[in-house]
Homo-oligomer: A and B are copies of this chain.
Amino acid sequence: MSEVREKAASAKQAAAVMNRLTTNEKNKALLMMADHLILQQDSIIAANHIDIDRGRANGTSESLLDRLTLTQNRIADIAEGLRQVAELPDPVGRTLESFERPNGLRVEKVSVPLGVIGMIYEARPNVTVDAAGLCLKTGNAVVLRGGSAALESNRRIVEVMREALAATSLPPDALQLVEDPSRASVDEMLKLNGLLDVVIPRGGASLIRNVVENATVPVIETGAGICHTYVDESAQPAMAADIAFNAKVQRPSVCNSMETLLVHEAWAERHLRELAERFLSANVELRGCERTLSLIPEAKSATEADYATEYNDYIMNIRVVANADEALAHIRTFGTMHSECIVTDNTENADAFLQQVDAAAVYHNASTRFTDGFEFGYGAEIGISTQKLHARGPMGLPALTSAKFRVYGNGQIRG
């Protein structure tokens, strides 16, 4: 049996135990994991050094190496994250529906763990702890498949967390790390129907595309975001400029940042030049439609491909539109149903935009950067779902649960 299948099968066995735990047992386990990560930080940092040395030898960029690096402070933050998840309400065991039928059957729909979650992600070893904490808190077992660049770090971190679990009522087998760094191990995970109940990819566009295209196990798609800010004719100049600037520049590398600014032609005539200068002085590369170029000669010409690109970088498109309908049509064509914003003082246009835009989150007069589990007050974030089934937008702990009907009778049969 392959490593992947064997570990998924062990996780499934463990899931049957996880399913029966109390909130208190799960929370104690998370705190124990946090304590052990601190206690064992030296060995974790030592393992992390092996990854970093290998990365440096392979020519990995300094920014990626930085994301890979674990320090005492970072491990303390990661452990603190587990403690915070322990404090969140348990989403398992809630009564979602409850009714009695005329024949006397009593039906209760209750929330239950999903079962076994497959998590496929890239370099950062903090995701290993984060995902483990969220999955165990929700009574699930988890099979982690992190990026090969962090393999030694992940291996040691999972070892430490499993040692912590061994001192609790949670089965250590609820936490599995796939160590095979080849693409084959990912491909195998994606087809493990019957062992995995769901696969959640966390990472760049190509990782997510591979999962969506090849998985037969149900997937929660996260992450890709081509987000727009539409500045309407009546938008207050300072507010529009602040929102657009924040959406692009505050953290360009994330999925809820803006890629394309759509501007009403009347607003553009009056204010676009000034806004563009603010972007240019922040070293944002501008690509624009023809009307944009006539106002901002510093911009390059934007292609259809540009409008369809998630830059995640200091690059953005600007397109001047005749009205809100043109903006809506652009978003329908190029949006990824993540986060979209209208800045306007016209309530009718705002309502139409919020109604008609098909996206996880639609904003009136606020930055798209707020699409985030913590910003929404969920206390944790599994990811941001960009699909419409099961969960949409920022996912808190309930997104890692399913439901089950319990039906109580006294001999009812169907006539």
Contacts and interface: CB of A to CB of B under 8 A. Distances in A.
Interface of A: 16, 19-20, 99, 101, 105, 107, 109, 112, 114-115, 193, 197-198, 212-213, 216, 218-221, 236, 239, 242-243, 245-246, 250, 332, 354-356, 358-367, 369-371, 375-377, 387-390, 392-394, 402-414
Contact of A366 (B213, B389, B409): B409
Contacts of A354: 406
B408 A369 contact: no
8 contacts: A101-B375, A114-B388, A198-B389, A250-B414, A359-B404, A366-B410, A367-B413, A392-B402
A203 B393 CA distance: 32
Given A19-B358, A109-B393, A393-B405, 11 more contacts: A20-B356, A115-B358, A218-B219, A236-B411, A246-B413, A250-B413, A354-B406, A362-B405, A365-B410, A366-B407, A394-B405
A248 to B, nearest CB: 11
A19 B356 contact: yes
Contact of A365 (B246, B361, B389, B409): B409
A354 to B, nearest CB: 5
Nearest to A247: B413
A402 B389 contact: yes
Contacts of A221: 218
A216 B221 CA distance: 11
B246 A369 contact: no
Q: What is the total number of copies of this protein in its complex?
A: 2
Most buried by B among A250, A361, A407: A407
Decide if the interface of chain A is mainly helix, strand, loop or mixed: mixed
Contacts of A212: 193, 216
Nearest to A371: B405
Nearest to A414: B369
Contact of A197 (B355, B376, B388): B388
Among A246, A366, A409, find the residue whose CB has the most chain B CB atoms closer than 10 A: A366
A310 to B, nearest CB: 15
Contacts of A213: 216
Given A250-B413, A370-B414, A413-B367, A407 B101 contact: no
A404 B389 contact: no
Given A101-B376, A392-B402, A363 B218 contact: no
A242 B200 CA distance: 44
A375 B100 CA distance: 11
Given A105-B370, A332-B16, A246 B361 contact: no
By Cβ-Cβ distance, the 4 closest A-B pairs, closest first, are A366-B409, A246-B413, A388-B402, A390-B390
A390 B398 CA distance: 12
B358 A107 contact: no
Given A197-B388, A402-B388, A413-B246, A407 B364 contact: yes
A404 B19 CA distance: 30
A389 B390 contact: yes
A250 B362 CA distance: 50
Contacts of A410: 239, 365-366
A399 to B, nearest CB: 10
A389 B356 contact: no
Contacts of A371: 405
A107 B376 contact: yes
B365 A408 contact: yes
A340 to B, nearest CB: 10
A107 B112 CA distance: 27
A365 B411 contact: yes
